[in-house]
Amino acid sequence: MRLIMLGAPGAGKGTQAARVAAQLSIPHISTGDIFRANLKNGTELGLKAKEYMDAGKLVPDELTCDLVADRLQQSDCGGGFILDGFPRTIPQAEALDKVLEKLGVSIDYAVDIDVPDEAIVNRMSGRRACVGCGATYHIAFNPPKVEGVCDKCGAKLILRDDDKPETVQTRLSVYHDQTQPLIDFYKKKDKLVQVDGTMPMDDVFAAILNVIGK
C-alpha cells in the first residue's frame, strides 16, 4: 500500500499517518525526518539541503524530490510507504510520479483529512508545549493535570508562536494557495479519498482504514 496524507496544518495528518503506518507495517516518511537523517549522516544531498536551511531559505523542490526519491528506494519501502508532508505542490507531485514510474509502482490513495479552517484555528490555539521536555498538551482534549505545568517534568507550558491564531491563519493561507490544488490533482487521477477530520481521533483512524480497504 502506497499512500499520501493530505490535510491542512493541524488537521492531524502526522498523528494519523503514524498510526496507519504501524497498522500496515509500512514506513511513515516525512520530509522533516528525511532531512534530519541526511544531515545526521552527512550525505551529499543532506549537505546541499543544509546550505539552504542555514541561509534561512526553503529547500528547492528539485532537491527535496531527490531526497524523497533516495528514501523511497530503500529496502523497507518495498512493501509500501506512507508520505506525510510531501508532495506539497503540483510540481512536487509531478516529480513524485516520475520517481515512482521509474520504480515501477504508483500511489494507491491520497488521503485528505478534511477540517474547516475555523476548527483548525481553535484546535491549534489550544495547544500547549513544555519549555523543558517538549511534551505537548491541549487545553480541551489533552489537558495537563495542573494548568500551565508539564505532567512529565514540571516545567512551564506555553502557547508556541506557530500555534497563535494569526500565525495559523497565515499558514492556512499558504496551504490553500500551494497544497489545496493537490486535492484536484489526485481527484482527477481517481486516487483521492476524503475523511472528516473533525471526528474523534479513533474515528478518523477507523475511517481512513475503511476508505483504503484495510
d(CA 81, CA 21): 7
**Mean pLDDT, to the nearest integer, of 123-152?**
91
Q: Which of 29, 156, 137 is nearest to 87 (CA)?
A: 29
pTM of full prediction above 0.75: yes
Percent of the chain with pLDDT over 90: 62
Q: Mind telling me the catalytic residues?
A: 13, 88, 127, 160, 171
Task: Note the pLDDT of residue 93.
Answer: 95
Q: Angle 205-210-214 (CA atoms, 0-180°, nearest 5)?
A: 95
Task: Note the pLDDT of residue 128.
Answer: 94
Query: Which distant-in-sequence residues (6+ apart) come within 8 Å of 199 by Cβ?
Result: 207
* Residue 117 CB neighbours (<10 A): 15
What digits encode the pLDDT tens for the residues 66-109? Answer: 999 999 999 999 999 999 989 989 999 999 999 999 989 999 99
d(CA 116, CA 77): 33
CA distance to 40, 83, 191, per residue, from 33 (Å): 10, 11, 25
Listed by start position, the domains of the chain span: 2-119+170-211
d(CA 43, CA 35): 10
What digits encode the pLDDT tens for the residues 111-124? Answer: 999 999 999 998 88
Q: Lowest-pLDDT range, 59-63, 75-79, 184-188?
A: 59-63
pLDDT band at 37 (very low <50, low <70, confident <90, very high): confident
Q: Which residue has the higher pLDDT, 111 or 180?
A: 111
Q: Which ranges of 126-178 would DSSP assign to H, the alpha helix? A: 165-178
Whether CATH 3.30.1490.20 fits 2-119+170-211: no
Task: Note the pLDDT of residue 186.
Answer: 97
